[in-house]
Structure 1
């Protein structure tokens, strides 16, 4: 595990995570990496379904090893009143509550924001849901992929005229988690500076996606323009596309005026480099098909390595399309500690992504490996003031595990 000399940036902040799968837990992961004490409440017997998602090693998903590092697991049945009472007891001493249930779930357990703020006025409550806590769609079920569709992203992720495709990861959930993290940090700052009161952060999956859709709506508002799918190209900016090589693909971003000239010179097309109408983006967009064809013809006769060396020497931004193997073997990733070796509680080591962003004085760290279900139940409840006899009684009733 990493070790750092400086106190962690969020040391002393306690987070109760009452969510599962991706959006809420990714926020908890991020806060935990910077020092927050994240207590994850999971259902007894089953736990977070992410424990069993995708590839399994020694009975547990390797994804879990990343998503739940730096967390403590409390197996607590929130369907039982005694479980709800314990949750309230833990929340009463917390700084942040993260949940990504369907709207109304907390209220059904007697844990509405008003009730929780009466118990803990400084509590910051992050609520991530498909459509938000208000509005006509609030009660509809929503996953990240639905947020990507409603947020406008899926309409653009396709080759023209072909079926919209997902980007390959749960980007809607992760965007919601990152927006939620921003909200938590902002609310904690506000609490510290402006009187100690907590507040509710309402993050909808589709709104988090919509927030990164750049000029989509202004273009529709000003021109009635509906942006359409454009494959790997960047519409209205040229040249910026993926081009085939003999052994793979490269992305080339030659859309700066001076960069375009260097790119055309590097590929032997001085005629295009010197063309007056191609000296600005507007002219290049008008002839983008011709430009893309010229670049593609040049890359197709070369290997990825040859293309990268030539364009690197010409100071043209270009990048190989990486696979997991490429990332794992890349020296730049390792030089920046973006590939770390993490010990697991199942007795093996696994390489995992490093920590982003990188802070100079209080960098994030991996302090503890991802827990088994209920690993920390007794310790957390003892910290909350329960006696060994009370904990044993709760276990006999199936309230905890």
Structure 2
């Protein structure tokens, strides 16, 4: 296997929960030596659900694969100084953290001792207030447009999207800072607020501009895709699928696959609707869906899948997490068998990035203080 891209880079991670551990995992999967710093007894997220039958956190072991772990009494100045010494004497080092409670471990304190240190701090809000993914969701509008149209209550998304985006933003920022350090020798202080990630994304996707410059008010639309055509259907044998139509070519192929070309041509002529336009398909989605639903209701899944796949329609059947291992989805090169203590052998993901045709195999997440001796010696 070729040398990993980040071989030789030391990352000290002082963090918990999702965003900063994901940042560390992303760097570890590219070959960085990521040292996870925890308080004595372990970080509070080591017991977070889901759990294995033995009580081990599958969440924690998933986000901390391939890292080393040290346990230090961060409640004492001596413990914090020990971690600061590790950072200062580790060579050019990267620090990622989601806490600024430790004065010895701030960028100001560390850069005074080592000017080339790179330090990334994740905050909840830019004003210093606390926030987590679900409170950020509430503050930024997304739960009010998520869920069935008939449901008035807000719906928080089960996927912690802002944590995930923040973790990847942090990794990108740290690698950009490392590039500058290699060129100039300069250190960098990076700060990222979780709420800013959500607000920036809402702005970049046009949600906030729409609210400012139009009188449109975005509402819930269930599984419809705003501004284009997409919806879920149930086949004759009870299998639920989703289809998405983005272009005129997609639309023509869908009509050919379902045998509805002539039907929609007649509708277009009688009603004066140009179904080849994306906006028209969205505006008349209920009419389109009523006809498509009839086709799915009389077509078994196997036949529907053959027609949709044969015409290269954007579609997929809905699958539960439990179905994925049985479906063969974990048999590809993205996954490898990992024997994690407290969990047992299972298929675990490598990095989604393929580097020079290969990816590093996953390695087990560490036990509490497992690497104290070799890291702090």
Which TM-score applies when normalising by structure 1? Answer: 0.85
Deviations, residues 272-297 of structure 1 (Å, cap 9, x unaligned): 54336112113222312101222222
Question: Which sections of structure 1, spanning at least 5 residues, go unmatched?
Answer: 383-401
> Given the superposition, is the C-alpha separation of residues 172 and 272 from structure 1 closer, same or farther in structure 2, using an over 3 Å criterion?
farther
Distance in 2, Cα, partners of 1:49 & 1:63? 8
| Structure 2 equivalent of residue 373 of structure 1 | 368
| Structure 2 equivalent of residue 126 of structure 1 | 120
> Given the superposition, is the C-alpha separation of residues 83 and 272 from structure 1 closer, same or farther in structure 2, using an over 3 Å criterion?
farther
> Given the superposition, is the C-alpha separation of residues 100 and 257 from structure 1 closer, same or farther in structure 2, using an over 3 Å criterion?
same
| Structure 2 equivalent of residue 192 of structure 1 | 182
TM-aligned CA deviation for residue 361 of structure 1: 5.3
1:259 equivalent in alignment to 2:254: no
Root-mean-square deviation (Å): 2.1
| Structure 2 equivalent of residue 385 of structure 1 | none
| Structure 2 equivalent of residue 83 of structure 1 | 79
| Structure 2 equivalent of residue 149 of structure 1 | 138
1:329 equivalent in alignment to 2:319: no
1:35 equivalent in alignment to 2:25: no
| Structure 2 equivalent of residue 172 of structure 1 | 162
Contact 1:9 1:362 in 2 (8 A): no
| Structure 1 equivalent of residue 98 of structure 2 | 100
Equivalent positions of 1:2-401 (< 5 A) are 5-92=1-88, 93=90, 95-101=93-99, 104-106=100-102, 109-132=103-126, 135=127, 138-139=128-129, 141-162=130-151, 163-193=153-183, 195-213=184-202, 214-237=205-228, 239-245=229-235, 246-274=237-265, 275=268, 277-331=274-328, 333-335=330-332, 337-346=333-342, 348-360=344-356, 363-366=359-362, 368-382=363-377
Distance in 2, Cα, partners of 1:126 & 1:247? 49
Contact 1:14 1:96 in 2 (8 A): yes
Distance in 1, Cα, partners of 2:301 & 2:119? 48
TM-aligned CA deviation for residue 362 of structure 1: 6.3
Question: Which sections of structure 2, spanning at least 5 residues, go unmatched?
Answer: none
Distance in 2, Cα, partners of 1:114 & 1:219? 40
Which TM-score applies when normalising by structure 2? Answer: 0.90
> Given the superposition, is the C-alpha separation of residues 174 and 347 from structure 1 closer, same or farther in structure 2, using an over 3 Å criterion?
closer
TM-aligned CA deviation for residue 52 of structure 1: 4.2
Deviations, residues 125-160 of structure 1 (Å, cap 9, x unaligned): 11112113xx3xx22x21111122223332222112
> Given the superposition, is the C-alpha separation of residues 303 and 201 from structure 1 closer, same or farther in structure 2, using an over 3 Å criterion?
farther
Distance in 2, Cα, partners of 1:91 & 1:83? 13
Number of positions where the alignment pairs a residue of Structure 1 with one of Structure 2: 365
